[in-house]
Every structure is written in structure tokens, then in C-alpha cells.
A and B are shown apart, each in its own frame.
Chain A
Amino acid sequence: MGTEVEKNVEELIKWEKIKYEVPDLTGMVETPKIEEFASRKYTSQLFKNKDALQRLGYPIEGLIPDWKTKFLEKFDEILRKYRSVKLFMDICVRCGACADKCHFFLGTKDALNMPVARAELMRRVYRRYFTTPGKVFGKSLGAAEELSEELLALWYIYFYQCSECRRCSVFCPYGIDTAEITMAAREILNSVGLVQKYMHEIIDKAQYIGNNLGMIPDAVRNSIEFVESDLKDQTGMDIKIPLDVKGAEVLFVTPSADFFASPHIESLYGYAKVFHQAGISWTMSTYASEGGNFGLFSSNYNHVKIINKRIWDAARELGVKRVVGGECGHMWRVLSSYSNTLWGPFDFLDPKHPIPQHICEFTLDLINKGALKLDKSANDAFTVTFHDSCQVARGMEMGGSAHGQYEIPRAVIKACVNKYVDMPENTIKEKTFCCGAGQGLLGDDMLPIRVKGAMPRMQAVKAVKDSHDVNFLALICAICKAQMSKMFPTYGYPMEEVGGIHQLVGRAIVLGAKEGV
């Protein structure tokens, strides 16, 4: 019986290479008519590495035979641990305010990609097993649904077609945050043995080896040496990227993609030049060689906590005074919003600076102090626009202000370029559209859904390309960079038009011009 059940569900969510069409670009985002199960086939691969699953604490043989019991146990546990989930199960009135706000719905037209419909997948189960009306009145009157393999398959498919970007939460009259619901659903799926590959492979690597890319310390060192010699070739100067230096002022953490991926590495050049020019002693760490924290993407508190631990252990061991985080969206959310809860208080750090500090806060502070000389004309080839990363834009304050996360990155860009223009108002700041690959959807197996999910952002890009000849999309997130450098060519634009803010800073900075701070 057990194996029969397993085969059944795995058949329903079987991954296969499918053909997809790239949407036409018109510069407008139109709300489509709903289509049932339009993206039903866009599934992601299951994780089958038994060693890793063992380490993660999840079932290693796929769906467990008595999955319904475990499913409800885990659901109950999450309801008791997370007020957000409990409350969001109860108070939705299905007004539809969120329905046309999700980039995956706009891109796929699939009815179940409306945030409310996605959440209803969970609410149907919630009502059936955790509420009196659902238990008594059942399916039609109570809108409740028995657990079944079909429903389980829909959970797996559609909770991995959500990038937890929280755009729906901005528009919900009760602030219902589908990200919280998706995170909970994913952890429930994990507990019964349906573990998604891309995301959990990385959660495993980050805990087991120390960074998302699985680079051992020597590999990190080699990459950094390569970057240093590259900087030497570019500038003729000895710009160092210090590693594991005790007593440095700043510990700098950044996504490991910045070590060699393109265009990420261009921002690493920028960070190094900023530290060099400011004359602030800094270090990176081979132990805390990852800023990103994929643990955020499911409600597994200990995963997010263990991954976060490295940064603060390294900060303590190296005896630094400040911790600065590089360009990464979800990393920044965990670092700024969760770190203090997970591993605080950080009373060993210098309270004069934000703990931790975002690289844009750091750089803008130096610019405002006059410690950096910037030559805007170095970027005159570019007309720049800025994509607010979802986890930053709808995450926490920067610079102590509720709107700092919008103003500070823009201020840094404007200090480095002459030509800057914003995308349409309903696609930026708190209303920003996700890149379409956040929170565990960046795998190659999810390319069809990534292409559809990127559509609203690409339409906004098209709009400013038409009106202002924009040719550079500035980003502050490793996932956005990876996704957009893939989507630009897919939608017919050059890949080189995508890059980080510190790529622009690095190009504009005049080295050796001043003494620094």
C-alpha cells in the first residue's frame, strides 16, 4: 500500500521538460481571464539525495506511507507556533483584492496562482480538520476538503509556484501574507517526504559545507585571489579582499554567487573598491562565506537559525566591530529582520552603526561624508532603472526610516549615474513585481514558471525602454541577478544590461582621489 501511494503522488507531480511560450512584451500588464490548471505541469523536481535528506531531518524514501497523520501533526504544530498562519487561515473574506496582484497569476493565468486560491488550498484542509463548521458541514457548505493524493499534488505544485514575494500582502485589507502560508505548506510537504530539490539541495549545502554553492574554504580562497588579480589588472592598484582577518573593523558577508557568477562578481569589485577607497579595514570569512539563507523559504526555524549562526560566530571570532551585508534580497531580510531574534543580542558590536548594515546604507553613508569621489560620467553609457527586490522592498527599514529601503539604493545609484528613471509606479517600491525566481524557484527545472513569472517585471522594463531608452537594470539581489540575466536574453534583450548597484559604484568610483574617512 505504502509504495502504491507514493507512486501515485509522484506520478501526479512528475517533472518533465515542457515547452513554454515567452510572452509578448507590450509594456503593459493586463489582468488575464482565469484558466484552470494552466500551469499544472510546471512542477519542480523532488530531492532524492538520501544522505542530504537524512541530514535535513526529512523522510528519505519519498512520501511516507501514513502521510496523512504526519501531515496533520505538522499542520497543527505550525498553527500553534505561528500566529500569522493561524490568523490567516481564519480571517480571509475572499474579496479578491489580491487575486490580480501576483506575477505568477498574471504570467500563467492559472486560477490557483491567485494568492487567495493558493491559500485556499491550505484553508480547505484547515477547515476540514481544524474547525467545527468544516468538520460538521464538510465539502460544500463548509468549503472543506479531505486530504487526498490529488490535493497533496496540488500543494506541491502550487506552493512551489509562489516566490513568497509578499506583493499580495501589501494589498490585502488584513495583511494576509501568502509567504507565511507558502512557507508553512512547504514545511508540511517536507515532513511527509515531498522535498523540493533546488531549494533543499542548497539548504543542505549551506549547513553542511557552509555556502549555497558548496565551495570549500580553499575554493573560496582561490576565487577571492582571482578577483584580486582581476582588480589589479583593471585598476593597476592593490585592492585587497581580506579573508579571515582578525581584528578587522567590518565583517562583510555576501551571497556566494558574488564570488564568481556573472554579473554578481562585478558588484564584488565594487564592494572592494568602496572599502579600499574608504580606508576601512574589512574582512570576509571562509566560515561565513554565505550571506544568503534559503532556510527562510520554509517554516523550518532551525534551518534558518543554523545557517544564520555562521555569520555571528565569525563576527565574534574575528572580533569585528561591524557586520555589513552585500547585495541580496532574502539574505537582507533574514539578516536585518531575524538575526537579532535568532542569535542576538549583538552587544559586542559597535552600537554607533546599524547592526547589521546594508551595503547600500554603508556606501551612501560614505558618499554623504564625502569619503568617496564618484565620477558619474563613467556611467554615461547607461540609462539606469532600479528593480526593488521583493524581500528588501517589503522587508524592513533602512537608515532607520520606513521608506529607506526605496530611497537609499536610489540615492546610491543617482550618485553614480547621470541618467536614472523609475519604472511605472505600480511596479516599484512596495508594489514591486518579483523577478519571478525568488525563494527557491531559481532551479533550471523551473524555467517555464520563471519565464512566466518574470513577465510583469519585463513589461515594466519594456515600458521604460520605450520611453527613456533604459539600458541598465540595477539590482540588489543575487537571485534577481541570476534570474534577470537569464530572462533578458529570453525576452530578447542583451544580458549585459543587468547588474548590481555596486557594479555602477565600482565603475564611477575614482580611486586614490581622497583619503577616505
Chain B
Amino acid sequence: MGTDRIIFAVLVYAVTCIFIIGFVGHFARWLASPNPLKIPTGPAPVTQGGTALRVLSEVVLFRSLFAADKGLWLGGYIFHLSFLIVILRHLRYFFYPVPEWVMFFSEIGIYAGFTLVLSLLYLLLRRLAIDRVRYISNFMDYLYPALIIAIGTTGLIMKYVARPIIVDIKDFMLHLMALSPIPLPDSLDGMFILHLIMVLLLIFLFPFSKLMHAGGVFITPTRAMVNNPRTKRHINPWADEEWGKRLAEAEGKPDAYKPWSMEQWREKWGQK
């Protein structure tokens, strides 16, 4: 076991830290900016519970996307579901003994590997085929699907063609989990290393990219705000400061609208 291969353990730890700090930091920066006004997009539920269900329906069913474009919904839904199942399948490398439910996902995860790659190919082709979507796409919009396709393909190759020694992977992972890292076992060769590096790259890029939609969808104000502005007063935390600034600006300028008091206005415009 080459001791220089401890670098992989270091990489996994580093990327995990970057991911957690990046994700939490990004989320915290969103939360640091308040919602000054109520802006849910109608029709919006009028209760807290209904609003939670609305957000859940977006997260679980991609409800708005379904209304927008059925083909895109199908491709996107299959991709996300496959991705989730594939991740759950990989949990078997993190547990000993492997729980029953992980075994379930381990079974269907094989099929999900194929649908993952195929659905992404469809989404990628769609991006190229429709002039509107091609116009708005930038380099990263192609990179992420390409990267995940490559991850999925290397995974499938390891399943069907060049099978690595699973016990060695598991050994490596369980040591990482126990915070007593070991170098990557020598039996794990190019294909596995490629797979691992690409996964780490994806996790590394996640918090700095559009992939953060996975977090943002939970707090997006047009979906997550309750439709009750008339019955429950929403407070804008910076309103008073802003108002104070305006009053200070208007100070001593008779013609500035400050706001006018009613008397000043009447004086000027000749109200009886």
C-alpha cells in the first residue's frame, strides 16, 4: 500500500469540508438578505401548512416545471430521481453492516445508473437542439451534465466491465468515516480513481455554482412565503433605516417630497 496514496483521503476530507462550509456559507448569505415584502406568486396557499406543502410539491414533484414543459419535466425528474437512488445505493460503502433499506436501493440503483446517464444525455441534447436553450446556455451548463455523465459511465464500467475489489473500497471508506484514514488501497486503479476524482470535483464545485438550486428551492420567496399579507403584517427589517435616510435628505429642502404632510400639501395645491 503506497503511502503517497494517503492523498486521496486528504482530498476527500478537504472537499467534504469545502462542501459543508461552502453550502452553509452560501445559505447563510441568502438568509442574511431579508425579504422586505410579501411576494409569493399566486395562486399561493394562505396558510403556513399549505405553503410548506407547496414547497414540498416543488421539491418532490417539480410541480411548476410540469406546468411549464412536460418533456423537460420528464427528463429532469428521471435524472434527479436516478441521481438520488444512485447516491443511496452508494451508502452501502459507508455502513457496516449494511442496513436493509440500503440493500433495497442497492438493487434498484443499478437501473438508476442507466437512467441517470440516459436522462442526462437527453437533457444535454435538448440543450443543444432547442435554439432558445442553446442561446442561454453557458460553458458550465454543459460541463455539469457532461461531468455527471462521465461519473455515471465510469460507475457503470466498474459494475459491468472492470470490477474493483469492493472490500477494499469499503475498507477505505469505513476508515475515513471513523476519522482514521488509510491510503487508498493499491487494488483500486485508474477507473476507480477517475470516478472518485470526478465525484470530488462535482462536490467541490457544488456550493459555488448553479447546483445550489438544491438549497435555494426550499427558501425561494415566491414559493415559500405565505399568502396572508392582509391578515398578518409582514415586517421589513430595513424599512425604518431607509425611511430615516429619506427624511434626512429632505431636511431643509422645502420642495423635496419628504413625504409631505397633509397640511403642506394642502397649502401648496390649494385644498379648501
Contacts and interface: CB of A to CB of B under 8 A. Distances in A.
Interface of A: 31, 33-34, 51, 54-55, 57, 79-87, 90-101, 111, 114, 116-117, 120, 131-133, 140-141, 143, 166, 169-177, 180, 207-210, 216-218, 286-287, 301-302, 305-306, 309, 313, 317, 336-338, 340-342, 344-345, 354-356, 393-397, 400-403, 405-406, 429-431
B44 interface: yes
Nearest to B236: A341
Contacts of B139: 140-141, 143
Nearest to A393: B42
Nearest to B220: A175
Nearest to B133: A96
B238 interface: yes
Contacts of B39: 84, 177, 180, 337
A94 B133 contact: yes
Interface stretch (B105-113, B190-198, B227-235): B227-235
Contacts of B32: 80
B57 to A, nearest CB: 11
Contacts of B41: 166, 169-170, 175, 177, 394, 430
Nearest 4 Cβ contacts at the A-B interface: A171-B68, A143-B138, A175-B222, A91-B216
Contacts of A305: 239, 243
A173 B270 contact: no
A395 to B, nearest CB: 5
B213 interface: yes
A220 to B, nearest CB: 10
A210 B234 contact: no
B265 A287 contact: yes
Contacts of A100: 132
B136 A120 contact: yes
B30 interface: yes
A19 to B, nearest CB: 26
B42 A216 contact: no
A396 B140 CA distance: 37
A324 B180 CA distance: 69
Given A80-B32, A87-B33, A337-B229, 20 more contacts: A54-B256, A81-B34, A83-B35, A96-B130, A97-B68, A114-B136, A132-B208, A170-B67, A171-B69, A173-B76, A175-B220, A177-B222, A287-B265, A302-B243, A340-B234, A341-B236, A396-B38, A397-B42, A401-B46, A402-B227
Contact of B257 (A84, A95, A175, A306): A306
A215 B53 CA distance: 47
Given A33-B131, A57-B249, A402-B42, A84 B222 contact: yes
B3 interface: no
A341 B37 contact: yes
A506 B49 CA distance: 40
B7 interface: no
B187 interface: no
Interface in B10-51: 26, 29-46, 50
A337 to B, nearest CB: 5
A387 B173 CA distance: 60
Contacts of B67: 170-171, 431
A101 B68 contact: yes
A341 B233 contact: yes
Contacts of A169: 41, 222
Contacts of B213: 91-93, 173-174
A337 B40 CA distance: 10
B72 interface: yes
B208 to A, nearest CB: 5
B219 interface: yes
A340 B233 contact: yes
Given A143-B140, A170-B64, A402-B46, A338 B229 contact: yes
Contacts of B270: 216-218
A93 B50 CA distance: 26
A397 B210 contact: no
Contacts of B269: 209-210, 216-217
